[in-house]
Amino acid sequence: MSTPLQLAVRIQDTIDQQIREISRLSDSDTWVGPVALISHIEIMRVKSLLSSCVDLLRAHHDSSGL
Amino acid sequence: MTRLACNPERLALLARRIHIAQGEISLQLRLAEIGDLAMPEIRSLLQRAVSLLESQEERVRRILNSSFLNLSESYSLMFNSSAYLLNRWVTHHPGWWSDATHGETTEIDILIAKVAENPLDAGRLIDSTSFLAPLIYGCHDTEVVRKLWLSATDPRTTSVTAAGQRMTRLVEEVFGDHEWRDGIAPTWVDIHELKQIRQEIRDLLGEVVAPWQLQFTGLAHEWRWSAETGIHYLKKIAEAENAAVAVSQGLGPALYRNLSDLPDDSSDRLQRINSIAFAVGASTELLRNSKVRQADMDSDHLSTLLTIPTLLSLKLPWPTSLLIGKSNSYVVNLLDRAPEVRVNSALHMLQHRSALASIAFMAVFNSALTSGRIDESNVQPSPDVQLELQHTVDMIDNPTARGQVLADLSDENS
């Protein structure tokens, strides 16, 4: 079973690798036409939600003293 | 910084990456539901992240699947790229039709050429479009169209059903009403070149249709259309001289292919032989009526006979009398005084059927050998197989038809 810290690390990896790649591919600064419909802001919102998860899990880990 | 108006490869990659990330976060969501990790706040955050990614993926896929082509199940980047750009080009460039007549390579030439030689991609491109006309008339170089359609309907790589779906759409598009023409933007068209393109398309139709011509008549049920409809189209195709020659050249190989794989059940087998014989009768009659260089046919069928991969260990086929050129002496002598064109046409049709009967005989013989109905160690096939072989020959080339031809010509000359 995963600990909060292990889950936090896993989510951080998702941010650092997959979300970063999606962010690069959907960057509207380098796109016009159909891709402009892909909201870069929404991808940033996903990143923000995942970062909050990481913070909460780390806080939980610290407070539980594991 | 590069500003790209459209890059379907990048879009497809984006869709894939979003899907993978969604899967990973969904897994984390399940982990966050158990034991020490069961924290409602974490679950809520992860759920919102998954929902956002879902909506993004849906948006990307919607763009990839837009109007003219359905690319939902396609992940080949080369194919997606060509198909998407083709879609976009046709949608936003109503003058595609006239481009083909302007004496130079068109955008559609370039896009189709990328997938034309790959049977899988060529077939997929045709199947995924709801608007076939650009894949027939959009190229300046009809060789590209030829390659596309030959790849997508090659009997070696295409199932009967898939070929049927593609071919019926093709002939309906070429010979049907072209409502789409009213919808395209008025642009300058080189009438002479337009006529030439149409003629070249008619010519290449024969080549595309030739391996499947039996499915236009006797085997029409395999394509779930009627023999009347099929004959109607085959007749129209054979009106173009080059197409008729291609149909004639393809008849022998088509006959051999369709007779080489016969059902195990004897009555089904006879039924299939009868259907194919009907098809041969229809094709030869249509070709007789078209202005084909009939003399070419005999050498076509002789070539087919020579290329048949015989499974016999050099035993003489039974009956040994079935050889090209030995069947027409009686009728030839009787009709020798009739007007030359009509007589030659009728005689060549009979010779044609005689040659085809030999091909059919070899196909059924080899089929019997392959399925174990003929024992290789015996010189003579069993009486049942002999009857089946004789039946095959008689169905394709028989005295009744010869008599009918003789009577028809005698009536005309009396």
| Residue spans per domain, chain B | 8-64, 76-209, 240-414
Please report, for chain B, how many H helices and E strands are present, in that order. 19, 0
Which residue in B23, B105, B11, B17 sits closest to B64, CA to CA? B11
User: Tens of pLDDT along B47-75?
Assistant: 999 999 998 888 777 766 654 444 544 44
pLDDT for residue B404 is more than 80? no
Nearest to B46 among A18, A35, A53 (CB): A53
| H or E stretch at B200 | helix B191-209
User: What residues are paired with A31 via a beta bridge?
Assistant: B4
The number of angstroms, rounded, from the C-alpha of B323 to the middle of its chain's C-alpha atoms is: 31
Q: Percent of chain B scored above 70 by pLDDT?
A: 74
Locate all alpha helices (DSSP H) within B154-185, ordered by sequence. 160-175, 180-183
Query: Which residue would you say has higher pLDDT here, B387 or A26?
Result: B387
B368 near B382, Cβ under 8 Å? no
- Least confident piece of the model among B69-78, B183-192, B207-216, B237-246: B69-78
Taking residues B347-370, report their average pLDDT. Answer: 85
Lowest mean pLDDT among A49-53, B196-200, B237-241, B317-321: B317-321
Q: Give me the mean pLDDT over the B35-53 stretch.
A: 88
The one-letter amino acid code at B407 reads A
A39 near B CB under 8 A: yes
- Which residue pairs from B35-38 have beta carbons closer than 8 angstroms and sit at least 24 positions apart in sequence? B35/A1, B36/A1, B36/A3, B36/A4, B36/A64, B37/A2, B37/A3, B37/A4, B37/A7, B37/A57
B117: DSSP letter: T
Å from B68 to nearest chain A CA?
Answer: 15
Confidence of residue B295 (pLDDT cuts 50, 70, 90): very low
Name, in order, each residue with C-beta under 8 angstroms of B190's C-beta and a sequence gap of 6 or more: B98, B101, B102, B103
Mean predicted confidence (pLDDT) in B8-23 = 83
Task: Round to whole Å and give the CA distance between B283 and B214.
Answer: 8
Per-residue confidence (pLDDT) for residue A1, from 0 to 100: 46
Where in the sequence is the domain holding A46, given as residue range(s)? Answer: 4-64
Q: Annotate B241-258 with DSSP letters as a single string.
A: HHHHHHHHHHHHHHHHHH
Q: Which residues of B touch A56 (CB under 8 A)?
A: 39, 41-42, 45
Rounded to an integer, the average pLDDT of B128-137 is: 83
Q: What ipTM was assigned to the predicted interfaces of this complex?
A: 0.90
- Give the Cα separation of B164 and B170 in Å (integer): 10
Of A18, A32, A37, the CB nearest to B21: A18
Q: In sequence order, what DSSP letters do the residues of A15-57 get, joined into one string?
A: IIIIIHHHHHHT-GGGB-GGGGGS-HHHHHHHHHHHHHHHHHH
Report the pLDDT averaged over residues B249-261.
91
B14, B20, B21 ranked by CB distance to A38: nearest: B14
Q: What is the pLDDT of residue B349?
A: 77
pLDDT of residue B145: 93
Mean predicted lDDT score pLDDT of chain B: 78
Task: Residue count of chain B, please give it.
Answer: 414
Looking at the complex, report in whole angstroms how far the Cα of residue B106 sits from the nearest Cα belonging to chain A. Answer: 22
Query: What is the average pLDDT across B140-159?
Result: 92
Section B241-254 average pLDDT: 90
Distance (Å) from the alpha carbon of A53 to chain B's nearest alpha carbon: 6
- Mean predicted confidence (pLDDT) in B134-141: 87
Give the side-chain half-sphere CA count within 13 A for A66: 13
Residues above pLDDT 90, as percent of chain B: 31
- Give the pLDDT mean for B362-370: 87
Question: What is the model's pTM?
Answer: 0.63
**Residue in A35, A49, A50 nearest the CB of B11:** A35
Q: How many domains does chain A have?
A: 1
Q: How confident is the model at residue B309 (pLDDT cuts 50, 70, 90)?
A: low
Report residue B229's pLDDT band, with 50, 70 and 90 as the boundaries.
very high
Q: Which residue of B has its CA nearest to A24?
A: B14
Q: What are phi and psi of B190, to 5 degrees?
A: -80, 105
Q: Which residue has the tokens 């009398």?
A: B321
Residue B162 CB partners (closer than 8 Å, separation 6+): B123, B127
Question: Mind giving me the DSSP string for B313-373?
Answer: SSPPPSSTT--TTSS-HHHHHHHTTS-HHHHHHHHHHHHHHHHHHHHHHHHHHHHHHHTTS
Task: In whole angstroms, give the CA distance from residue B197 to residue B100.
Answer: 8
**Average pLDDT, stretch B78-87?**
69
Q: Which of A35-44, A54-63, B367-376 has the highest mean pLDDT?
A: A54-63
Residue B147 has pLDDT above 90, yes or no: yes
What pLDDT band is residue B27 in, cutting at 50, 70 and 90? very high
Per-residue model confidence (pLDDT) at position B8? 62
Decide if A15 touches B, using CB distance below 8 A: no
Number of Cβ pairs < 8 A linking chain A and chain B = 102
Residue B367: which region, alpha, beta or left (left: phi > 0; alpha: psi -120 to 50)? alpha
Residue B183 pLDDT > 70: no
Q: Which amino acid is at B190?
A: D
Nearest-CA distance A58 → chain B (Å): 12
Listed in sequence order, the residues at least 6 apart from B309 whose beta carbon sits closer than 8 Å to its beta carbon are B366
Mean pLDDT (whole number) for B130-157: 90
Is residue B198 predicted with pLDDT exceeding 80?
Answer: yes
Instruction: Please judge whether B46 and A56 are an interchain contact, meaning their C-beta atoms are less than 8 angstroms apart.
Output: no
Question: Are B4 and A32 a contacting pair at CB < 8 A?
Answer: yes
CA atoms of B233 and B221, how far apart (whole Å):
15
Cβ <8 Å between A31 and B3: yes
Sign of CA dihedral B192, B194, B197, B203: negative
Query: Per residue in A17-42, pLDDT tens?
Result: 999 998 888 765 555 444 445 667 78
The pLDDT-based confidence of B4 (bands split at 50, 70, 90) is very low
> Do B155 and B142 contact (CB within 8 A), yes or no?
no
At B292, the pLDDT band (50, 70, 90 cuts) reads very low
The candidate with the shortest Cα–Cα distance to A25, out of B88, B18, B71, is B18
Per residue in B314-346, pLDDT tens?
A: 344 444 444 444 444 444 454 444 456 666 777
Residue B6 is nearest to which of A1, A34, A42, comparing CB atoms?
A: A34
CA distance B244 to B409: 23
> How crowded is residue B270: how many other Cβ atoms within 10 Å of its Cβ?
17
Inspect the interface and report whether the beta carbons of B39 and A26 lie closer than 8 Å. no
